[in-house]
Amino acid sequence: MVDRNKKRVITLEEYIIQAQNKFPGATGDLSQLLRDIGLAAKIISREVNKAGITNILGEDGSKNIHGESVKKLDLFADEQMISALNRAEITCMVISEENDGIVELDNAGGKYIVYLDPLDGSSNIDVNVSIGSIFSIYMREKPGSNQLSADEALQPGLKQVAAGYVLYGSSTLLTYTTGMGVSVFTLDPSIGEFILSEDDVKIPDKGTIYSVNEGSYHSWDKGLKQYIKYCQVEDKETSRPYKARYIGSMVADVHRTLKTGGIFIYPNSSQYPNGKLRLMYECNPLSLIIEQAGGLAIDGKGRILEIEPEAIHQRTPIFIGSQENVLKVKEFLDKYSSETISA
């Protein structure tokens, strides 16, 4: 007997097709692009889950353009994502953390530009802590042209047509938005499919967790120092002190913030006066997701998604999370804005 009350299983592919059908005249290209990313995510997830028993842990001996040591799994993830995006020939170029300039794909006339952080938090790989992949999709302003340049990829985050991340943790999750809310899918390894686990996800208006690397406290602006002190002072009326949680993988920290509320912070400092995280393939896509869920993302002064980029690997500070938490930290930053960073 069929249990009609049982929740129907919806796969990522089915969900994407249903969404596409809501728009008469849709070509299906963006849907194909999202399915290709989902396929690459499955392959990366498989390797992550067996990394300890294969020769894919550790560093490969090289450094990326940011001077950071490259892990073997970084390169594997980069190769899988780029290969998947090249297959359908609808993407003209990829910009990745692991590559200096643009990566031109086989179809130079393709209409999409994709930014990638193939494996965020890779310093956690060898100690089995959650890591992830981040993607950001833009439409070309001059589709059909075979002349590709980095300048064409320099679009503000507001122009993203889709963005998302894959989290490789206790389960593998794919979270994405096309500007119509946020959906989360969980990989069912028994059938090899991403299954819809949450739709129209909303971040709490306020949370009691702050996430920041407090080891850099002495290099921060005074406003941020004062905000962290505020988070630590007991006040039952405002549910303080807040709890400190910091994983060291932006995807994992932001996913927790999306689910439970609160704030994730990676500020400017004396060591990184312009911030450390990359605007185009870390901050923009995650900011779009958090905003679509009802939260906020700022660089300390204004909205992340409104920043006009000047370089494909541009860095920025970020304060992202629940509305009340982000507005509160901005109060402190504004109040002490004239005070310089400590040496």
CATH architecture of 12-198: 2-Layer Sandwich (3.30)
User: What does the pLDDT average to over 181-206?
Assistant: 96
121 annotated ligand binder? yes
Q: Where in the chain is the domain with CATH 3.40.190.80?
A: 209-335
Which residue ranges does the chain devote to CATH 3.30.540.10? 12-198
Is residue 151 a known part of a binding site? Answer: no
* Cis peptide, bond prior to residue 241, ω within 30 of zero: yes
214 carries a ligand binding annotation: no
49 labelled ligand-binding: no
Section 261-267 average pLDDT: 98
Q: Confirm whether residue 119 is marked as ligand binding.
A: yes
**Distance separating alpha carbons of residues 341 and 219, to the nearest angstrom:** 6
Question: Which residue from 24, 107, 95 is spatially nearest to 65, judged by alpha carbons?
Answer: 95
Query: SS3 sequence, 283-330?
Result: HHHHHHHHHHCCCEEECCCCEHHHCCCCCCCCECCEEEECHHHHHHHH
Q: What topology does CATH give the domain 209-335?
A: D-Maltodextrin-Binding Protein; domain 2 (3.40.190)
Residue 212 phi, psi (nearest 5): -160, 150
Q: What is the pLDDT of residue 59?
A: 58
pLDDT of residue 49: 83
3-state secondary structure (DSSP) of residue 187:
strand
**Of residues 104 and 60, more confidently modeled:** 104
Q: What is the pLDDT of residues 93-139, one digit of tens each?
A: 999 998 989 999 999 889 999 999 999 987 787 788 899 999 999 99
Is the backbone of residue 228 left (phi > 0), alpha (psi -120 to 50) or beta?
alpha
Residue 325 is assigned to a ligand binding site = no
Instruction: State yes or no: pLDDT of 57 exceeds 70.
Output: no
- Rounded distance between C-alpha atoms, residue 222 and residue 49, angstroms: 42
- Helix, strand, coil percent content, the chain, rounded in steps of 5: 35, 25, 40
HEC secondary structure over 59-97: EEEEECCCCCEEEHHHHHHHHHHHHHHHHCCCEEEEEEC
0.75 surpassed by pTM:
yes
- pLDDT for position 343: 43
Residue 165 assigned to a binding site: no
Distances (CA, A) of 21 to 15, 121, 160, 175: 10, 36, 20, 20
* Residue 331 among known ligand-binding residues: no
Rounded to the nearest 10 degrees, what angle do helices 29-49 and 72-87 cross at?
A: 150
Question: Is 14 within any annotated ligand binding site?
Answer: no
Residue 276 is labelled as binding a ligand: yes
Q: Which residues touch 254 (CB under 8 Å, ≥6 apart)?
A: 165, 264, 286, 289, 290, 320
Asked if residue 67 has pLDDT above 80, the reply is no
Give the pLDDT band of residue 258 (cuts 50, 70, 90): very high
- The structure tokens listed for 245 are 């949680």
Mean pLDDT of 47-72: 62
Choice among 45-49, 109-113, 137-141, 281-285 with the minimum mean pLDDT: 45-49
pLDDT of residue 330: 98
* 328 labelled binding-site residue: no
Q: 117 by DSSP, 3-state: which?
A: strand
Report residue 323 as tokens: 């509305």
